[in-house]
Amino acid sequence: MSLKRFLLPAALSVACLLALPAGAQEAAKEKVILDTDMVEMFDDGVAMTMLAAAPNVQLLGVTTLSGNSWVQDGTATALRQLELEGHTDVPVAMGAEYPLRPDRHQLFKTERLLVGRGHDVWTGSFGLEKPASWQAAYKARYGSAPQLAPVAQHAVNFIIDAVRANPGQVTIAAIGPATNLALAVRMAPDIVPLIGRVVYMGGAFFQPGNTTPAAEFNWYFDPEAAHIALRSPFKEQVILGLDVCEKVIFRKEHYARLLKTLDASPLAAMLRGTFVGEHFEKDASFTHYVWDVLVAAVIIDPSLIAREVVRFVDVNDQPGLSYGQSLAWAHDAPAGAQKARIVTDVDVPRFWNMLNDPRYWRSIPRPQEAGAAH
């Protein structure tokens, strides 16, 4: 298939958007809240950058929570990336520090011995020391004072207010555990029919998990929250679980291409310093996944979705071997289970082209340009 064929759908929708008058262009953008367990310049960070820069998206805000990182750390790294990228108008709201089940952090090590995969897997904030505050996390990581700060509002209230202010229009991109979303629908059930759609990175429906044999990280971190969210009768739920994410293999050639695209931007150094960057730098055969980046990509260009199935879905919230497992039924589902679109394939070559589209990275000031401007 030709490059032209790959690039055409996204180019067309952006061209249509640009043909509209300025006010109509703003109104035609998809309003997105990114709910994230942020890490810098890897999957959550790249997803945020793309959504912030996408011409057809209005990023209403970034809501953070613990998962990959403690919420204090994720908030600090979200702010730092937005500062470097010049996206200083995107509000960041800090959210849930702990999953819903009491004492989950304390019980986690024992639980892992009982139901874990039997070798070292990523345990996110369950295995990391909690920073005293987001400011302390920022200082420890970057050695300087932040330019931006999170809004005073809690992430859950931010979500509730943003949805009420934009009824039927907000897409929630849920790329971490579902804690903030579950709390929002419990605190304000009226928002459920007002949410345009929820696009999740989570679950592993038709294959093993990546944190226990049964469960994927985001939904294992807070199974009760995922259970509440998935069972909420949203207008639309779209799920990109391991079923599709593990078909998009991040190889050294993709890493090198992205570094080239980033050029002299400070994000290139950030990418090199990530866990994946360090591995790629010393081992050319290393491979990884880009999970959350796929959520951003299909929001920006839904035509990337090559195959999906519609199923009733749920998450097992009963502790034991299958705690956090994602469940899907074609019919005869348990009462209350809702339908979701489970994406099983995306157009992989077109995805890599999209990731390297300069429009997501071009506007990021290079150090020499920033210096010249002063």
Residue 243 beta carbon to ligand RIB: minimum distance, rounded to whole angstroms: 12
In this structure, are residues 365 and 22 in contact, taking their beta carbons and an 8 Å threshold? no
173 binds, among ligand RIB, Ca ion, none (CB under 5 to 8 A by kind): none
156 binds, among Ca ion, ligand RIB, none (CB under 5 to 8 A by kind): none
For the chain, give the longest Cα–Cα distance.
65
Residue 173 beta carbon to ligand RIB: minimum distance, rounded to whole angstroms: 11
Residues in the interface with Ca ion (CB under 5 A) total 5
Residue 68 beta carbon to ligand RIB: minimum distance, rounded to whole angstroms: 5
For binding to ligand RIB (CB under 6 A), which residues are involved?
Answer: 37, 43-44, 67-68, 175-176, 201, 210, 216-218, 291-292
222 binds, among Ca ion, ligand RIB, none (CB under 5 to 8 A by kind): none
Of 228, 368, 354, residue with least CA distance to 290: 354
Neighbours of 266 (CB within 10 A): 19
Nearer to Ca ion, 175 or 258 (CB): 175
Which range of residues in 76-84, 236-244, 254-262, 285-293 is near Ca ion by CB under 5 A?
285-293
- Name the helix (H) or strand (E) containing 91: none
Nearer to Ca ion, 85 or 292 (CB): 292
DSSP of 252-285, one letter per residue? HHHHHHHHHHHTTSHHHHHHHHSHHHHHHHH-TT
Please state the separation of Cα 202 from the chain's center in Å. Answer: 9
**Strand extents, DSSP E, 1-95:** 30-36, 57-64, 92-94
217 binds, among Ca ion, ligand RIB, none (CB under 5 to 8 A by kind): ligand RIB
Q: Is there binding between residue 292 and Ca ion (CB under 5 A)? A: yes
Q: Is there binding between residue 176 and Ca ion (CB under 5 A)? A: yes
Find the residue with minimal CB distance to ligand RIB.
217
The b-or-e profile of 295-333 (16+ CB within 10 A means b, else e) is: bbbbbbbeebbeebeebbbbbbbeeeebbbbbbbeeeeb
* Out of 175, 182, 245, 340, the residue judged to bind Ca ion by CB under 5 A: 175
Residue 183 beta carbon to ligand RIB: minimum distance, rounded to whole angstroms: 18
Helix or strand or coil: residue 230? helix
Nearer to ligand RIB, 81 or 169 (CB): 81
For Ca ion, the binding residues (CB under 5 A) are: 37, 44, 175-176, 292
